[in-house]
Structure 1
Amino acid sequence: MSPAPLLKTKPLVALAALSASALVLTGCSGSSTASEPSASTSGGSDLISAERCAENEAAGPITFLTSFGYVASAGLLDVITAKERGVFEDLCLDVTLQPGSNNAQLVSAGTAQFAGVGSPSDALVAIDNGADISGVATYGNTVAITLMTMTDGGPASLKDFSGLTAGYKGAIPPQIQAMFLAEDVDPATINWVSVGYDPTILPNGQVQALTGYKSNEPLALKAQDYDITEWDPAEYGIESAFNTQIVNNTFKEEHPTAVEDFLRASLYSYDWINESDANLDEALSYAEALSDAGYDLESSRARWATEVGLIDESQPEGLPIGGETVEQWTPEADMLVQFDLVKAEPDVEAAIDPSFIEAIHDGTELIWPAP
């Protein structure tokens, strides 16, 4: 698990929060070291000033689209936890969670205010298609995509993939294509086919290779005792990032404190989850309760641990978790151009707004509570 959270607190407000910590929210396990403040007479809490609370309340109802249901993914489980533990409410934010698939379009239209997307590429392609959104937080600074083959009888090198059938979902990941080119293999020599979400098509022989997320499909196959080999673009020098939060541009301009405190509550909850296994179990119980279909707790723990590990291992020195830079997004922007996935060269500087993450941190320490 990741280390305890780095929180920069304001002493007077922190004491008030500690005095209220005995008031545990219904459904909480009590294992959290995070404060559980009582509501103030202004309708907010001791974790935020009355003036800032009023600004956040003026933002009105906020909808966050989870993208992948209620899975245990960074940027999703922490938002769920912030909602269910009352952290958003403590910061005077009225947040509703909804699963969604057309996240960028709905956020652009103002139907939702925030959403999680898989990577900077998703945001850049949406902006290329006219979406009025910005990336405001990106969790991971490495490649989250992988290419899987069966170890027994599978290719021994990337050069052996020519002529094989490889499955992908949605679009062929540019990170995978770039990996092949890095080894002088033309990805066009591979038979790419669009497939569904069942990874067992790989061991069943329907495809000889399959793209997936490091925190998902490989874990699912290994849990079923399949011996697979992963071809990681990062090992071939490919740079990327993953798990990006997007916001409606009009909303961020009109309600900057709400954007800051949405991210503050999310990242505070991210740190809280990683304080202990008990906290993770509590967070997963929230996600399980929200899910209509069966929720696999064991695989969810593995997914979270994998993503947190990738985030910790790839975090640039001096950049807080969630922080965004032009350098972070540029490799994916370049790949989108290289593989003709956008109509125009992305303007990365215009596509991101790192000011909100910067505002809620002192260096790499999350400022808690809110001003």
Structure 2
Amino acid sequence: MLKKIKFLSILITSLIFLLSCSNEPTEVTKIKFMAGYKPQANLPFVAAYVAKEKGYFLEEGLDVEILHSTGSHLKLLLAGEVDITTAAAASVIKRRSNPGVPISSIMLFGQKGQQAFISLKDSNVKTISDWEGSIFGYKISLPPEYLAMLNTNNLDRTKIQEVKVGFDPRILTEGKVDILSVFKSNEPNLIKKLGYDLNIWDPGEYGVPSLGLTYITLDDTITKRSDILERFNIAILKSIDFILNNRDEAIEIVMLYAPKSDKEHQIFMLDKEIEQSTSPAVELNGFGWSEKEKWQSLHDFLLEYRSIDKAIDINLVYTNQFLGKSIESDKKTILDRIGLGKN
């Protein structure tokens, strides 16, 4: 994993060298970025924090106001009150399947999905076969990954009690549920810090398609304000390079935004999300790259398990075009190789 991260850092460093040859912006444009949750070390959040604090946004002529959502970030994006926000890839597909929600991903951070399922190590639920006869707790809606794992392991759903539990992971340690739906970079560490060992099931290990967090914006912004998105992504890529090479300082920047949070937990979250941001395609093309095949697999999976009602054109869901479009045209071959060319 360290070799992969080092290789990724080299690619981004090459990117930054090429960016230094482009013309510097002469005007500063104000935009609003809204992180999709409270201040914490999710990689898309940290990238924005670092870009702000290290001056990368200003280097690209952007004055970025960073906001945090209480659950209304998509609504605010659609209303034009924020320019860029975050969302899980599955959520982008779900929203896009509604013709009234014209959003697209412009940078994919999570090359692997966030979803996992856990039980306490000393409980009676030790293997996936033990799920039958248990109580399953989920946050808001049943994860399709859960349904897929039941299907692939020939489990009888009628023998599992499904309970909506919200976001407090102590519901597991208090014995109110036997299995809990969690995010890999969050609840497992929180529960371990309470002194409990865990069994963890990763849907990806069972062949379930998944992708993680992305930056999203409106189709109208892509069409009419592409220069701003390009500059935003360039600043973020500089920020990612800094994070990969200066994790401790990056964490200190996180703590400026989340001063009351547990620092050790923020380190865990950031490390886990960096790990999930790499893939062979990223190593080949550059950070944030989207593969059509992975988006299509996720789409087909959501359709199969009725998370979306109808098929959509997956090309509308994401774009790679803002990963370096402003570079001089005579460098195009190099840019394409490291993932900066227009898709």
Query: Normalising by the residue count of structure 1, what TM-score does the alignment of the two structures yield?
Result: 0.80
CA distance in 2, matches of 1:300, 1:268: 21
Question: Are positions 1:303 and 2:269 aligned together?
Answer: yes
Kept in 2: contact 1:104–1:131 (CA 8 A): no
- Superposed, 1:87-166 pairs within 5 Å as 87-100=56-69, 101-117=71-87, 119-129=88-98, 130-166=100-136
Mapped pair 1:334 → 2:300: yes
Q: Shift of residue 366 of structure 1?
A: 7.3
Equivalent position of 2:329 in the other structure: none
Once the two structures are TM-superposed, the CA of residue 315 in structure 1 deviates from its matched residue by: 5.4
Map of 1:272 onto structure 2: 242
Q: Cα distance 1:170–1:357, how it changes in 2: closer, same or farther (>3 A)?
A: farther
Identify if the C-alpha distance between structure 1 residues 94 and 195 changes in structure 2 by more than 3 Å, giving closer, same or farther: same
Please tell me the residue identity of whatever aligns with 1:271. D
Structure 1 match to 2:331:
none
Task: Determine whether 1:239 maps to 2:239.
Answer: no
1:70 aligns with 39
Between the aligned partners of 1:125 and 1:176, the Cα distance in structure 2 is: 17
Instruction: State how far apart, in whole Å, the 1-side matches of 2:109 and 2:23 are.
Output: 28
Partner of 2:101, secondary structure, is coil
Retained in 2: the 8 A contact 1:71–1:77? yes
- Between 236-245 and 99-108, report the one with greater CA deviation: 99-108
Aligned-partner Cα distance in 1 for 2:145–2:336: 31
Counterparts of 1:310 and 1:230, CA distance in 2: 16
Deviation at 1:184, TM superposition (A): 1.7
SS of 2:322's partner is helix
Structure 1 residue 350: Cα displacement: 1.2
CA contact (8 A) 2:49 2:254 kept: no
Partner of 2:30: 61
Per the alignment, residue 353 of structure 1 pairs with: 319
**Deviations for 1:60-83, whole angstroms, at most 9, x for unmatched residues?**
431111011111011111111111
- Contact kept, 8 Å, 2:46 with 2:250, in 1: the verdict is no
Structure 1 equivalent of residue 155 of structure 2: 185
The 3 A distance-change label for structure 1 pair 314 and 71 is farther
Structure with greater helix percent:
2
Distance, in Å, in 2 between the alignment partners of 1:87 and 1:329 is: 30
Deviations 1:188-240 (A, max 9, x none): 54221111221111121000100001100001111121011001111111121
Query: What is the aligned counterpart of 1:216 among 171, 182, 186?
Result: 186
Report the secondary structure of 2:277's partner residue: helix
Q: Which amino acid letter does the alignment assign opposite residue 362 of structure 1?
A: L
- Matches of 2:303 and 2:230 in 1, distance apart? 32
What do the CA deviations read for 1:164-196 (whole angstroms, capped 9, x no partner)? 111111211112221221212244542211112
The question of whether the paired residues in 2 share the 8 Å contact of 1:169 and 1:197 is answered with yes
Q: Judge conservation of contact 2:289–2:339 (CA < 8 Å) in 1.
A: no
Q: Structure 1 residues 224 and 320 mapped into 2: Cα distance closer, same or farther (>3 Å)?
A: same
1:240 and 1:144 map into 2 onto residues whose CA distance is 8
Q: Is contact 2:230-2:324 (8 Å) kept?
A: no
User: Would you say 1:82 and 2:55 are equivalent positions?
Assistant: no
- Corresponding position of 1:343: 309
One-letter code of the match for 1:109? A
**Post-superposition offset of 1:156:** 3.2
CA offset at residue 311 of structure 1?
Answer: 2.0
The structural deviation recorded for 1:264 is 1.3
Q: 2:109 is paired with a residue of what secondary structure? A: strand
The one-letter amino acid of 1:150's match is L
Per the TM alignment, residue 364 of structure 1 is displaced from its structure 2 partner at its CA by 6.0
Percent of aligned positions that are identical: 24
Give 5+ residue unaligned stretches, structure 2: 327-333
- Match of 1:63, SS state, is strand
Structure 2 counterpart of 1:37: none
